[in-house]
């Protein structure tokens, strides 16, 4: 079975749009801080803007000039954190190399952290959260319990939080990475494989057991075409697999958009409590 992201993402976006309708004319606002030198960052931002506009969310993008320093990012974030009109803030990664990504990402106010990158965020990061939602949709909520799950990649925004969410669903989890020896020994026994590597054709059909469930988080460009990490053509008849594009990508975006009316209502509640 091909696990398409779009129907699941569309349902989430519909839900977000109806929550926004219920705000009686009040409109949440998202600010996206982008790095115009990074083409991938621009594509992600464009998809987020499109989905927000569809749901009736205001969006502003701020393109950081080349050579921006950590302090310049921090000054901008301090202003946006204070701004009552701003519901959510995204610093689209990767940022300019002249600034420190960790310091910048952690300067977003928790109340506005729509990405879920802070240690004490209200939400987990969007990509792993979207993947769990997608697995729930296609396989049912109890599916992961007792399953052997292999996550390939150990990044802060995908691999590590993914492993935690799988563990929270009672899967048996292994995190593999660039230094893992004999990767195939792990993947071959996996019921669920999450590949977040960033290399085209990395996961091939000899590495996957029949009827496994493969989630492809890779976004790679080959001859101008967008492809994932997996040999999709040879895997699609062997196991369940997400396509690239059209799999995990729309889920990341919809998960993010869905959080804006939630944050907005939390902020309204806080304000009301302050005024009491």
List, by residue number, the catalytic residues. Answer: 48, 92, 115
Query: What does the binding site for ligand GUN look like in residue numbers (CB under 6 A)?
Result: 44, 90-93, 115, 126-127, 157, 252
Q: Given its phi and psi angles, is residue 224 left (phi above 0), alpha (psi -120 to 50 degrees) or beta? A: left
Q: Cβ of residue 33: shortest distance to ligand GUN, in angstroms?
A: 9
Whichever of 147 and 258 has its CB closer to ligand GUN, that residue is 258
Distance from C-alpha of 227 to C-alpha of 104, rounded to nearest angstrom: 30
Task: Give buried/exposed letters for 73-83 (b at 16+ CB in 10 A, else e).
Answer: beebbeebeee
Query: What is the distance of C-alpha 235 from the center of its chain?
Result: 24
Give 115 or 229: the residue with its C-beta nearer to ligand GUN: 115
Query: Which residue's CB comes closest to ligand GUN?
Result: 93
Burial code of 87-114, b = ≥16 C-beta within 10 A, e = fewer? bbbbbbbebbeebebeebbebbeeebbb
Alpha-carbon distances, residue 87 vs 24, 30, 84, 102 (angstroms): 16, 6, 7, 22
Smallest gap from Cβ 44 to ligand GUN, in A, equals 6
Find the shortest distance in angstroms from Cβ 130 to ligand GUN: 9
- Are 126 and 116 spatial neighbours (Cβ–Cβ below 8 Å)? yes
User: Looking at beta carbons only, is 44 or 73 nearer to ligand GUN?
Assistant: 44
Least Å distance, CB 239 to ligand GUN, is: 25
In angstroms, give the least distance from the CB of 95 to ligand GUN.
Answer: 9
Which is closer to ligand GUN, CB of 115 or CB of 191? 115
Complete edge-to-edge strand list for the sheet that includes strand 192-195? 172-176, 148-152, 192-195, 213-216, 240-241
The residue among 157 and 162 lying less far from ligand GUN, judged by its C-beta, is: 157
């Amino acid at each position: 079975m091909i696990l398409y992201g779009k129907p699941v993402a569309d349902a989430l976006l519909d839900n977000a749009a109806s929550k926004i309708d219920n705000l009686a004319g009040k409109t949440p606002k998202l600010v996206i801080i982008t790095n115009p030198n990074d083409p991938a960052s621009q594509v992600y931002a464009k998809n987020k803007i499109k989905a927000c506009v569809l749901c009736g969310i205001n969006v502003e993008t701020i393109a950081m000039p080349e050579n921006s320093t950590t302090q310049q990012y921090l000054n901008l974030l301090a202003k946006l954190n204070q701004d009552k009109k701003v519901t959510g803030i995204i610093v689209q990664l990767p940022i300019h190399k002249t600034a420190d990504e960790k310091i910048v990402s952690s300067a977003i106010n928790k109340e506005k952290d729509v990405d879920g990158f802070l240690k004490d965020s209200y939400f987990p990061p969007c990509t792993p959260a979207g993947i769990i939602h997608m697995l729930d949709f296609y396989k049912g909520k109890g599916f992961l319990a007792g399953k052997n799950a292999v996550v390939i990649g150990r990044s802060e925004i995908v691999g590590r939080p993914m492993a935690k969410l799988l563990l929270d669903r009672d899967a048996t989890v292994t995190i593999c990475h660039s230094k893992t020896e004999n990767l195939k020994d792990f993947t071959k026994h996996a019921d669920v494989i999450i590949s977040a590597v960033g290399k085209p054709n990395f996961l091939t059909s000899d590495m996957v057991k029949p009827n496994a469930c493969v989630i492809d988080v890779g976004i790679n460009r080959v001859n101008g075409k967008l492809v994932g990490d997996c040999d999709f053509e040879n895997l699609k008849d062997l196991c369940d697999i997400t396509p690239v594009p059209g799999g995990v990508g729309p889920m990341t975006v919809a998960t993010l958009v869905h959080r804006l009316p939630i944050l907005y209502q939390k902020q309204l509640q806080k304000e009301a409590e302050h005024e009491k």
